[in-house]
Chains A and B, each alone.
Chain A
Amino acid sequence: MNGGTSPRQRLWLDPRTKILLLLLCILSAMMALSLYYELGLVVLIGLFGACCGKWKYAWKGAAFYGLIVLLTFWIMDTMTGTWRTMFITFLGLFHKVYPCGMLSGIVISTTKVSEFLSAMNRVHAPKNLVIPLAVMLRYIPTIQEDWRFIKDAMRLRDVSPSLKGLLTHPGMTVECIYVPLMMAASKAADELSIASITRGIENPKPRTCLVQIRMGPADAAAILCFGAFFAAGLYGKGVFG
């Protein structure tokens, strides 16, 4: 049962499953024993992304991580002293963040807002938190779009939207970026809230959704994969360490 919305038969997962996968991934990354283990995790995430139809993203993400791992080995071998410490501190952070960032990129880009809201409704998450979160995820691409328009408008008026402009006319540049962005945001807030009230977001009855939100065999398989990987890290110290 694949939800039935995607034209091509891609892997379709319940949003709740995706959140669980994200949690497992964070846990795995937190207690990762070695770089090989982390590399395995990234490859697993890449496979997951490929199954969800994000071939390019998965491939690029895994390749980039491979390069970073090589760089890490090189630094561990050759560098000494303060520089080594600095790089180790930074790369330590990087290796922790990267797998989860990659997975959440996949999760966010493959989950529709309505699916997310229905699933959250199912687990009885507080509405006061879910609505802002859904709005936020929806609004981030809009900011990118707005930014492009603002840049064009600034060029039209001879205000340079570059770093040089920022340094020579800081007040003007800052105002020209913030004011339209925030004006647009507060207008969008008004319009979006009117739109969502019209569509019945305040309706106290349980929410319905065209896409059937349910856990299927695919969800079980995905959870099993990530769970097994986590367990392998937890118990198989001899193998990876």
Chain B
Amino acid sequence: MSSQANSLKKGLTVKDLVTTGIFSAIFFVFTLIGGLPFAPNPVLTFYMPMGAALLCGPIYLLMVAKVQKRWSVTILGIIMGIIWFATGMHWAFSLGYIGMGIIADLVAGAGHYRNKAINLLSYMLISLGGIYTYVVFFIDPEGWASTMLDNGTEQSYIDTMSASAPSWLLAVIVVGTLVIAAFSGWIGGKMLKKQFEKAGITA
């Protein structure tokens, strides 16, 4: 009832902005916790987006349920982009988060931020923000490691690279991230129903 009046009001209030900020902080920390075990391991570094997607589902869904307005998800994406850029992540990573944030916002908006299935889908989309570093990597593996190799690239390096990172790995990353994000969102949806709706936390 009160939420009806809420969503009719135009624009984001200060409360919405603060809520977005706080949930972005948790989103960032949980992405870090999920991603860090993968990142320092050379073999697992490709699976980092999956680890990042695993933990954030409940947080994203609660944020959407609490704000229920356009731009909130976009702001989340942009903040993620800025923070990752400031920590020196690859530029594709940041742009990916900003782009996927906008797309996820549009998708969630199509269900007026109420439809649980559509919210879940938008979470899966924003989780894809992390994969663009690897997309760039697969397009141009030589440029990626040029810092490490002084004189161009050795032939043996190219060979081992294409052997250890075959092209299907990209598909595995995309599909795996989507599946794990769906799982995380599913858990999040259940948790929302069991705990937060009863407590009246969702708007």
Known: A100-B86, A128-B12. A196 touches B58 (CB 8 A): no
Total A-B pairs, Cβ < 8 A: 172
Q: Tell me which residues across on chain A come within 8 A of B31, comparing CB atoms.
A: none
Q: Is the interface of B mostly helix, strand, loop or mixed?
A: helix
Contact digits for B82-105, partner A, Cβ 8 Å, 1 yes 0 no: 110111111100000000000000
| Residue B124, interface by CB 8 Å | no
Residue contact A133 to B21, C-beta cutoff 8 Å: yes
Provide the bound-state CA to CA distance between A193 and B22, in Å: 11
1/0 per residue, CB under 8 A from B, across A188-223: the answer is 111011001100011000000000000000000000
Tell whether A26 pairs with B25 under 8 Å between CB atoms, given A88-B157, A92-B144. Answer: no
Q: Number of B interface residues, CB 8 Å?
A: 59
Min CB distance, A31 to chain B, in Å? 9
B15 within 8 A of A: yes
Docked complex Cα distance between A151 and B191 (Å): 20
Majority SS of interface residues in chain A?
A: helix
Residue of B nearest to A91 (CB): B148
Which single member of A98, A137, A190 contacts B15 (CB below 8 Å)?
A: A190
Q: Which residues of B contact A83 (CB under 8 A)?
A: 42
- A50 sits at the interface (CB 8 A): no
A22, A34, A85: the one within 8 Å of B160 (CB)? A85
B116 within 8 A of partner (CB): no
- Does the CB pair B23–A185 fall under 8 Å? yes
**Partner of B66 from A88, A134, A137, A186 at Cβ < 8 Å:** A186
Q: Are B144 and A89 in contact (CB under 8 A)?
A: yes
8 contacts between A and B (CB under 8 A): A84-B157, A88-B149, A89-B45, A92-B148, A100-B87, A135-B22, A182-B62, A189-B22
The 10 closest A-B pairs by CB, nearest first: A100-B88, A135-B21, A132-B21, A86-B42, A193-B15, A90-B42, A139-B25, A189-B19, A193-B18, A85-B160
